Structures are given as C-alpha cells and as structure tokens.
A and B are shown apart, each in its own frame.
Chain A
C-alpha cells in the first residue's frame, strides 16, 4: 500500500516539472550536421556538377531508388543525363553518400518533404541539384583525379606529375 502511495506522490510531482515535448512545428528538433535527411547533388567550387554518373550510388542503394544515365558534354566531361531518386522508396541509409567518389550525392539534415501526391515524391535532377558544395567545401574532383577532360590534360592535376615518356631512356 505504501509503495502505491509513494508512486502516486512521485507521479503527482511530475506536474511541476517542465514538459519534455518539443512542440513541432513551432519548435524544431535539434538535428546534428551528419543527420541523414534529404538527398542533394552538390556542385564544384567552380559551379559545375560534381556528379560523374559513375552509377556507384545506384549500385550501393539497398532499395534501388536511384536511377540515372551517363552522358558526356562537349569537353568530354561525364555528367548524368537524368538523375532520379524515388523518395517513397528511399530509406535514408546514407550508403549512396558513402559510395560516391566525388562527394556529389549528400544527405542533409532536412526531413520536411511531405507531398499530397505520391508522384511528387520522385525527385529529378533539377530538384536535387543545389548551388553550393554541401558538406564538403573546396573539393574539386577533377583537380585531383587522373582523367583527362577539357581544360585539364593527364598529369595536370594537383599533386600529380606529368606522365613519363616510356619510350625514351632518360629518367
């Protein structure tokens, strides 16, 4: 009996403590910077797209929600012709972000993506592209990669030396 009364007293005193409820939508919950929310495609520091359409994110996705197709522009730079993410399937696991070699695809701390029509949950590239560099500022894939594209030949990347001429005997 006494334990019952003690329990009643403890629960009664909860009335005088602050409520734990975060009153959404007036107050938003705290989301850490690496929180896996809405997916975006980021850009270079120069403003070009980072995505090279390598299909690694589509392969890594456990629910196959990413669809894309590669094309090349006139300078020989690969980019996705279309890039589609079906957010009704996406489980926000972040495996695509881990797989991406160019830091193009990133997950942002945003979850307010409600739609009235289910077809509006399929995001195309123009919905996913952002103007900035996302979570990894200053990273320019083509400056550190070895591939030759318009404006940068083989051997002209950062920390790279020009290729040896293997047919001459000089060191």
Chain B
C-alpha cells in the first residue's frame, strides 16, 4: 500500500515539476531569445516578467474554442492531446536521481524511442485533420522529417547501449560513473542531439511550423488551449530531449558534492539554454536540404559510430 502511495506521490511530484518547467519555459525562452538578440524580452508582468506565462495562459483559455467546420472534429481535438500524452509518458522512465524515477524499466531506452515515434502521430493527425492546404503540407513535412531523423536517433543510441551493456536508463547512468559518454561517444552525441532537435520540431528543423513559410504549418487552424497544448507540448519535448541527452551522454545525476537531483536539473537547464541558443542563431534550411542532411550525412555518421563502438568493445573484450 505504501508503495502505491509512494509511486503516486512521485508521479504527481514529477508531473507538477514538469508542467511548472514547461510553463516557466514559455517566459524563459522568450527572455533568453531576447537577450541573445540584444532585446529585453517580456519584463513587465511581475518580477522580471515571470507572470508572462500566466497572462498567456489566461489569453489562450479565454479564446473562442473554434473547430473549423471543414475539419475532422474528433481527430482535430485528439491530436494535441497525443503530443502531451506521449511526452509525459516518456518522462516515466527518466531517472532524475538514484531511486527517483516513476518506473524502473529494463528497456527504458526502447520505451523512450517508442514514445517519441508515437509523437509523430500527433503532428501528422493535426495536419491531416485540419483539412487545409498549409496544415497538410506542414503535417506531411513533419512526417517525412521526423521519420527520417528517427532512424538514426535509435542507431546513435546503440553505441551508448553497447558501451553500457543495457537498455535500462538507470544502468546507463551508473555505467558513466568513470567517464561520461560524451567523450567516447562524441559522434553519437552530435547525431542524437540533431535528431532530438528534429523530433521536437525546433529550429533549425521547424519547417513543419515555419511562420514565414507555412503560416503556422500543422497548427495553423488551432487556436486557444489546443494551440496551447501544442506549444507546451513542444517545451515539454525539448525538456525531454535535454533530459535524455543528459542521462545518456552527460552522466545523468552524477556529480560531486551537490545532491544528484540538483546536478540533473543543472545539466538539463544548460542543455535547454543550448536549445534556445540554436533557435536564436541558426537559419532554417530548405526542406530538401534538411532531408539530404538527414539521410546522407547523419545516417552514415550514426552507422560509423555504431561500427567503431562495436569494434572497440569487441576488441577490448
């Protein structure tokens, strides 16, 4: 009985923390983007402008909940929910500290990969059910891009798995106690980070929702809280990818005298800032350039990483 209570408490606690982080990210990203673009960003509402999220949420909630009459009603409403569900489910296996995870799966990594693949559905369904040209193009672009980049997302992680000897995220973190995997698996880190950015549809891979190209792409017909779900879902997605990069390549919660949870939070925070810096800096490639980059550059790199890691591990053993 106390196990159940403990699990429920952990679930609620992590959910609360995650949603707070996603909400704060709404303000933080705008502030950070502004700072890197020599502007000020939102600094009016509350101390340093922190209540910007509250204002945005109130605005989104009080908007008219309009479903286009030409859209597929059921799928239109479900699509943003799929984003939130898959990302939050993927957080169930992330180890925040030794013993602080919702469930300790032997195949945690596979679960994460599965959940991110399910996330593709949300975008495609959103684009398809909106029944409008720009949304459809955005959805189809998202499907092609996420499919292509997911192939080597899994492959790049196999190097980590080979070195750690397990798919379980806890074992992987513990196996990095000597040397973080960012050093031997540099290639894997780069490939996985690129794939992660493409999975969450962030710049420079945000063609599915490019404002200057596709109006708003797959979420063009969305307004109010449904759009808010996509928005918060994107921030949760980048938090998830940052958390996974930290877990798999930067030693998770490992670190000297600070408590492990603080180390995890610190490293994830640094990576989140990296995400925002990428958005502030990089221009958007053309779609064919994006796909060529994925299939012709990243996939061979991932395979190369796998071959070299395998050779090393087999050669040592």
Contacts and interface: CB of A to CB of B under 8 A. Distances in A.
Mutual binders A and B:
yes
Interface of A: 4, 7-8, 10-12, 14-15, 17-21, 23
A12 B35 contact: no
A20 B39 contact: yes
Contact of B277 (A8, A18, A23): A8
Interface residues of B, number: 13
B283 to A, nearest CB: 9
A7 B37 contact: no
B277 A11 contact: yes
A7 B37 CA distance: 13
A24 to B, nearest CB: 11
A8 B278 contact: yes
Contacts, number: 34
Given A14-B38, A20-B39, 17 more contacts: A4-B282, A7-B281, A8-B277, A8-B278, A11-B36, A11-B277, A12-B36, A14-B35, A14-B36, A15-B35, A15-B36, A17-B38, A18-B38, A19-B35, A19-B39, A20-B38, A23-B43
B280 interface: yes
Given A4-B282, A8-B277, A14 B37 contact: yes
16 contacts: A4-B281, A4-B282, A7-B281, A7-B282, A8-B278, A11-B36, A11-B277, A11-B281, A14-B35, A14-B37, A14-B38, A15-B36, A19-B39, A20-B38, A21-B39, A21-B40
Interface of B: 34-40, 43, 277-278, 280-282
A12 B277 contact: yes
B302 to A, nearest CB: 16
Contacts of A18: 38
B297 to A, nearest CB: 10
B38 A19 contact: yes
A11 B37 CA distance: 7
B34 to A, nearest CB: 8
A11 B40 contact: no
A85 to B, nearest CB: 33
Nearest to A17: B38
A99 to B, nearest CB: 40
B40 A23 contact: yes
